[in-house]
Structure 1
Amino acid sequence: MWIIWLVIVGAAAGFIATRIMKLDTDVITTIVIGIAGALIGGVVLRVLLSLMGFAAGFVGALLGSLLLIWLWKIYIRK
């Protein structure tokens, strides 16, 4: 069930992350980046999610999305 929650939060986090990183992507790419970032950040910060609630999950999703965008800018889009 928590994976579904990460997908939902990830879509929002991807939107915010692409705006923070000033990345011009289409809607599908933004959502995919957000979902992947949410899964990365959510899994890494799962312990914080159980301890601190929604805020930690959102922060984890946002950080995961930012990390994924940074890696994408460096290694894929040149």
Structure 2
Amino acid sequence: MGVIWLLIVGAAAGFLATRMMKVEASIPVTIAIGMGGALIGGLVLRAALAFMGMLGGLVGAVLGAVLLIWLWQKYGQK
């Protein structure tokens, strides 16, 4: 199902991209452009989300540690 979805999205993306860039291309070239763009865009998006996921985990861990230190200082040290 993923490959079929890639073909459909690629064809639509290729059509939209060729119209936005005012490029006249045949239907197979338009589909190929869209599929290539979908592949590149998907990889870039996944990499960005993976990085942001790791960065988000780091930010969450730091914030959690800061909260824990604050609680420890407020209620633990007496």
TM range (shorter): 0.5 to 0.7
Equivalent residue for 1:33?
33
Residues 24-68 of structure 1, C-alpha deviations (whole Å, 9 max, x = no match) = 11111000000111000011112678xxxxxxxxxxxxxxxxxxx
- Between 1 and 2, higher relative CO (CA 8 Å, sep ≥ 6) is seen in 1
Please report the TM-score for the alignment, with normalisation by the length of structure 1. 0.52
Equivalent residue for 1:6?
6
Q: Give the aligned residue type for 1:20.
A: M
Larger Rg: 2
Structure 1: distance between partners of 2:28 and 2:47 = 29
Please report the TM-score for the alignment, with normalisation by the length of structure 2. 0.52
Contact 1:3–1:39 (CA under 8 A) maintained in structure 2: no
Partner SS, residue 23 of structure 1: coil
Structure 2: distance between partners of 1:40 and 1:3 = 15
How many residue pairs get aligned? The number is 49
Equivalent residue for 1:24?
24
Unpaired runs of at least 5, structure 1: 50-78
Residues 7-34 of structure 1, C-alpha deviations (whole Å, 9 max, x = no match) = 3211100000000000011111000000
Unpaired runs of at least 5, structure 2: 50-78
Contact 1:7–1:38 (CA under 8 A) maintained in structure 2: no
